[in-house]
Amino acid sequence: MITLALSKGRIFEETLPLLRAAGIEVLDDPEKSRKLILDTNQPDVRVLVVRATDVPTYVQFGGADMGITGKDTLLEHGSDWGGAGNGAGLYQPLDLDIAKCRISVAVRADFDYASAVRQGSRLKVATKYVAIAREFFANKGVHVDLIKLYGSMELAPLVGMADAIVDLVSTGNTLKANRLVEVEHIMDISSRLVLNQAALKLKREPMRKIIDAFASAVGKV
C-alpha cells in the first residue's frame, strides 16, 4: 500500500488534475466525505488530505510514504535549507510546477519601506513564514521583530500592528484590495513531491512508478 498525503485547499484543487494525469483517481469527494483516508481507483494507493503544514510531518514520520506541498511549507518545516535540520529523512525529487505563486514583502502604500531600510530602522514584520522571513532579512542586514500569525497577514499593517508582512502573492488582488504594495520578491514558490526515504527503500518499485507517472504528467495539466 502506498499512502499519499495531499494539502487541503488551493493546492488540492491543483493536485487532482495532476493525479488524474498520473492515472490516480480519488474516489471519495474530500469536500463531502468525512473519511480521513480516501480510496483511489488503484487498490494499492490511498490518499490523506491534511493541512499543508502537516504534510511534511506525515511524510517525515512515515504516516505517509509521499506527499505534495508547497516549497513555502517545506522551507518553514526545515526540510529545504540543504542542511539536516528537522527535515532529515525527506527527499524532494520533483517540482510539480503547480500552485505557483511568490513569497513577498508587502507594506501599506503610505509606508516608505526603502527609506526605512536605508536608515537602518527596526521593522515589525507579521508573517506565518517566520523562518523564511528571518533568513531573508538577516541576509539583507535588516533588523526585524517578527510577529507570528496563522492567517490574514494583510490585516496587521492596516491596524498598525506591523510595518510589513511576508506572505504568498498570486494575482496580487488581495494586496490591492487592502491598499498594500509589494516591495520585495523573496522567491518563487510551487508545490513539490516529497518522499519518505525509508519508505522509498522498502517500496522502491511501486513508489518509482508513481514518481515516474508524476514526472511525465508535469506541465501537461
Interface with ligand AMP by CB under 6 A: which residues?
10-11, 70, 99, 101, 167-174
Report the nearest approach of ligand AMP to the CB of residue 190 (Å).
Answer: 8
Report the nearest approach of ligand AMP to the CB of residue 56 (Å).
Answer: 15
Nearer CB in complex with ligand AMP: 192/203: 192
Q: Which three cell numbers stand for residue 207?
A: 513508489
Report the nearest approach of ligand AMP to the CB of residue 69 (Å).
Answer: 9
Report the nearest approach of ligand AMP to the CB of residue 150 (Å).
Answer: 11
Beta bridge partners of 165: 106, 126
Overall size of the chain counted in residues? 221
Nearer CB in complex with ligand AMP: 26/166: 166
As to burial, measured by CB atoms within 10 angstroms (0-12 exposed, 13-18 middle, 19+ buried), residue 33 is middle
Q: Using alpha carbons only, give the angle 62, 64, 67 rounded to the nearest 5 degrees.
A: 125
Report the nearest approach of ligand AMP to the CB of residue 55 (Å).
Answer: 12
Say how far apart CA 94 and CA 111 lie, in whole Å: 39
- SS3 readout for 4-67: EEEECCHHHHHHHHHHHHCCCCECCCCCCCCCCEEEECCCCEEEEEECHHHHHHHHHCCCCCEE
